[in-house]
Amino acid sequence: MSLHTTLIDAAALAALPPDQVLIVDCRADPAGAGAADPGKPEREYREGHIPGAVHASLEQDLSDLGRQGEGLGRHPLPLEQAFSATLGRWGWRPGLQVVAYDAGSSALAAARLWWLLRLAGAREVAVLDGGLAAWRAAGLPLETGTVERTATQVDLRFDAGQAITDHAALHAAPAPVLVDARAAARYRGDSEPLDRAAGHVPGALNRPYADNLDASGRFKPPAQLRAEFAAVLGDTPPDKVVHMCGSGVTACHNLLAMEHAGLHGSRLYAPSWSGWVSDPSRPVATG
């Protein structure tokens, strides 16, 4: 079986032997823990999901909200031990193909899981292109209820070089090229619905994650993505690029898009804008 490391389409996922893939339903409310109905994603999972899929909570499984007071943003990274326990509960093992999906085309929390597994050294992980909407459009079946898999023992370590959590590192020589995945209005500081200040980290460029998708909600072809990122980054090598967003979730969409485009080695500023503005003394740029 060939391994999928960035994206997979619905037909290819449906063809995978069930015992050779771990499917993870990552539906999440963009408002996170502050959503009006925080139980909605899991409830929708129980009402209908891809057969065999387990459910991942953005707040409980893919983040550690208990660390918000440390200046690490609204979605601090989970600790290695906690993430290992989550994977063990799902029955993950090294070499097992993982496929993550969200409700529709945005692939936000799914991309976060994709990146977390890569942070832990796993490469056999892909995001369902077009999400659950693409699965439904293909006429493929759903199942209800919850899925429990045989637990495994997992003890993973994160590659610290792939994530920046030290705010000062953004402007320490040699400074990386920072790319902000938020919508242009939030980047410019025209509006800020979630965080304490509006604007962006001085010097950061803007590549809204939504620009990675075509009109059908699928990721654009690799060549088109390469050209579009080159228009933003110029001749900056991918390994000199660091992605950010509001809280370290949508930035993973840009990381995934660059990998899909063959632009390997970029990193994540995990605290992102919410972490940056946790200290009012840090500078803010607008426009």
Q: Alpha-carbon distance 266 to 239, whole Å? A: 5
User: Under 8 Å CB-to-CB from 263, ≥6 apart: which residues?
Assistant: 225, 226, 229, 238
Q: Does 245 participate in catalysis according to the annotation? A: yes
β-pair partners for 23: 99
Q: Alpha-carbon distance 246 to 252, whole Å? A: 11
For 160-178, letters b (16+ CB in 10 Å) and e give eebbbbebeebeeeeebbb
- The single residue of 8, 163, 245, 252 carrying the catalytic annotation is 245
Q: CA-CA distances (angstroms) from residue 218 to 151, 202, 229?
A: 33, 31, 17
Q: Can you list the positions of beta strands (E) in the chain? A: 7-8, 21-25, 54-55, 97-101, 125-128, 163-164, 177-180, 205-206, 241-244, 267-269
Catalytic residues: 245
